[in-house]
Amino acid sequence: MATAAAAASRRLRLLARCGSLSPLLSAALARSSRGLRALCSLSTTLRSGAGEDEIERIRREFEDAKRNYLSIPAAIKDMPKMNPQGIYVNKNVKLDDLQVYGFDYDYTLSHYSEHLQCLIYDLAKKHLVNELKYPESCLKYEYDRSFPIRGLYYDKLKGCLLKLDFFGSIEPDGCFFGRRKLSLSEIKELYGTRHIGRDQARQLVGLMDVFCFSEACLIADIVQHFIDAKLEFDASYVYEDVNQSIQHVHRSGLIHRQILSDPQKFLIKKSQVFRFLKMLREKGKKLFLLTNSPFYFVDGGMRYLLEDQHFDGNSWRELFDVVIAQANKPTFYNSDHPFRVYDTQKDTLAFTAVDKFLPDQVYYHGCLKSFLQITNWRGSEVIYFGDHLFSDLRGPSKAGWRTAAVIRELEDEIEIQNGDSYRFQQAKLSIIHDLLGKVNATVVSTEKGQVYRALLDELNAERRHCRSGMRDLFNSSFGATFLTDTGRESSFAYHIHQYADIYTSKLENFLSYPPESWLHPPHDIKIMPHNAKVPASLFSTS
């Protein structure tokens, strides 16, 4: 209303100056204009006064809430809890329509102990020093399992490890330069804003699979070494060298030989996985194995994992219609590489063309185009299980396959979210967000601005306290994998939402679902179906 009056007043003055109005009319309209301004001033005063009353009301509501925090556990005790072993759905999947099941090997069919991350870290660290001539003082660093989480990004331009939210913004407590967490002011000074623009995003490298834990930790430690030594360095070189060392550990076979030399230390037996595979075979489903690992490593691991399951010799291969090793994913999905028959006895590749898959053969390399031509399996009847969102699932998703992500952290994070401590802080946070929304929507006069600011500061402090309490229940450095401290889904959750039709913590969870199940996302879920929210209305009703 004030804006309209000001505009009308300006138009009246302009007409009067131009002589377009008679003196009498000009005087009358001038009086009218003054009246409009007075009325608008009165309206603003009334709204300001009402705003001040509203601030006092919100203050009382906040004080009541603080006094009644102890009643929150009673209010949330009957809220349903999410199933840590559940299957969570982003897109409808009718299991009965799936005729072909494909599997990655590492962290999908096989699972590893924490010793593996330490081994990868140590081998890569030694490669940096012995082959790439990094200072010997780098050898003092050890893998810190409490530091990294999956789904981080490394900025090759600025040298920071970042945790991003669903919309590509840096989490306020999720930016590390070396092993030091940067403050919000430092983040804004470095990036200008928390949001990562398109040009900046080109400098980011995603660390999305479980093997990236050791890589993220080693990157941070090497950056910290240069900082402590007060040496200039190029952040992109650090990434290239660390990544080259990590790749060397895998491609040279160092890691494979170490694991097979002591499988009890590194491999975790899970008999239910193979019960699931046998159930699929009994239902007449087709199964294939598609992995980047070499055959001897997969064979040794499967033999160990199945030694207590009454499997003998090579019979684990009888579970699969097709076995493909060293597939070179994600290149597999968009290349024209031919398949080669691998001789398991001579460790050689045949030169004859592959135009059909035989159950007693092992195949190397290949591509999706040839795979579909040979098998005649239609995309909608195929589902592929993997742990790496980019290497395993992005290609199949674009090719029309159904996709399933195996995310081992999911089970632990749901257990935490189901706990009383997390739900208590989440309920408090919901109440604070509700009150903050009311405060920010309230208009107050300049004279009462101090009261408004004091309440806003108190609410923001309480919000920070709640976020910290929730964060501390997860990873001490970066918090939860799927959520940011602000309660938004993380960038990692975004990629799951984008590339995984369904996701779960481990394969054997499917044993709890009938093979003819129709999996569909809950109708009231906005983004991630496993993230249950505690509404503020629940507390106020109680």
Under DSSP, the state recorded for 71 is G
511 within 8 A of 277, measured Cβ to Cβ? no
Residue 195 φ/ψ, nearest 5 degrees: -80, 135
User: 96 a known binding residue?
Assistant: no
Residue with tokens 């870290």: 121
Select which of 106, 221, 241, 485 is catalytic. 106
CA 74 from centre of chain: 32
Mode of pairing for the β-strands spanning 100-103 and 518-519: unpaired
Q: In angstroms, rounded to a whole number, what is the distance separating the alpha carbons of residues 396 and 439? A: 47
Beta bridge partners of residue 538, listed in sequence order: none
Q: Which alpha helices (DSSP H) does 142-203 contain, by range?
A: 184-191, 198-201
Tokens of 415: 């257990």
User: 336 a known binding residue?
Assistant: no
Cα first-last separation, the chain? 40
CA distances, 329 to each of 367, 396, 507 (Å): 9, 10, 21
3-state secondary structure of 503: strand
Q: What is the identity of the amino acid at 230?
A: K
Instruction: State the maximum Cα–Cα separation within the chain, in Å, rounded to a whole number.
Output: 110
Element (H or E) spanning 325, and its range? strand 322-325
Task: Tell me, yes or no, if 434 is annotated catalytic.
Answer: no
- Vertex 388: Cα angle to 383 and 393 (nearest 5): 35
Select which of 53, 96, 97, 104 is catalytic. 104
Provide the total of helices (H) and of strands (E) in the chain, helices listed first: 19, 19
Residue with tokens 């331009």: 157
Q: Can you point out the beta strands (E) in 14-169? A: 88-89, 93-94, 100-103, 111-112, 152-155, 160-164
User: 434 a known binding residue?
Assistant: no
Task: Tell me, yes or no, if 104 is annotated catalytic.
Answer: yes
Tokens of 400: 């029309």
3-state secondary structure of 154: strand
Q: In angstroms, rounded to a whole number, what is the distance separating the alpha carbons of residues 164 and 173? A: 10
**Sign, Cα dihedral of 255, 260, 261, 267:** positive
Q: In angstroms, rounded to a whole number, what is the distance separating the alpha carbons of residues 487 and 409? A: 18
Binding residues for Mg(2+): 104, 387
Q: Which residues carry a binding-site annotation?
A: 104, 106, 387
Active-site residue set: 104, 106
